[in-house]
Every structure is written in C-alpha cells, then in structure tokens.
Amino acid sequence: MWYAFHMPKKSKIIQVPMPEQLLASLDEMSQKQEVSRSALIREACAKYITSTQEAEWDRQYAEAYAKHPEDDEGGWRDKLAAEVIGYEDWSDVDDKS
C-alpha cells in the first residue's frame, strides 16, 4: 500500500456514490487486508492512474516505433558485436560432449 503510507498531509474528503454490492466487496477486502476502506480506495485509485499512464507510454512508444522502426541496414549490429566481443578461439573445445 505505497500510496497509503505516502499520502500527502493535506487531503480532501470526497463523496463517491457506489453500488451496495461493490461497497460490500470493498468492506470485505479491507477487513481481510486489515486496512481502512479509505486506504483501499486511495490505493486502487493510485494503481489505476499509474496503469493508465503506463498504458499511454506504451501506446506512444508503439506509435513512435511504427513511424521510425529500427533497422539493421548494412549489418551494423553484427559488426559492432564482433568489435566488442572480438574473436574467440574455440579450437580447444572438445566436440564429444
């Protein structure tokens, strides 16, 4: 419950209409997790905002990649890897394994 422990000192109280069955489920979960209903709602809201932002970043990345895909024209990745790794002598390796 990261958000519950890092809640700003100044908070605003809100009222949110909620179906009775959802409220009952929320109360049951808060009892099982031994946290207040308010803390559970704050955590759910924080997770929703985070996941929505991450989904937007993923969408932006995919859009940018579609416009400018990576290419390996000229095999530059293989050439660079060969420069970094260098030549390895495998002549002393036994093929019988």
Q: If we measure between CA atoms, which residue out of 44, 40, 42 comes closest to residue 30?
A: 40
Q: If we measure between CA atoms, which residue out of 3, 70, 73, 83 comes closest to residue 38?
A: 3
Give the predicted TM-score (pTM) of the model: 0.59
Buried b (16+ CB within 10 A) or exposed e, 42-59: bbeebeeeeeeeeeeeee
pLDDT 10s digits, 78-92: 788 888 887 777 677
* Least confident interval from 3-7, 26-30, 61-65, 74-78: 3-7
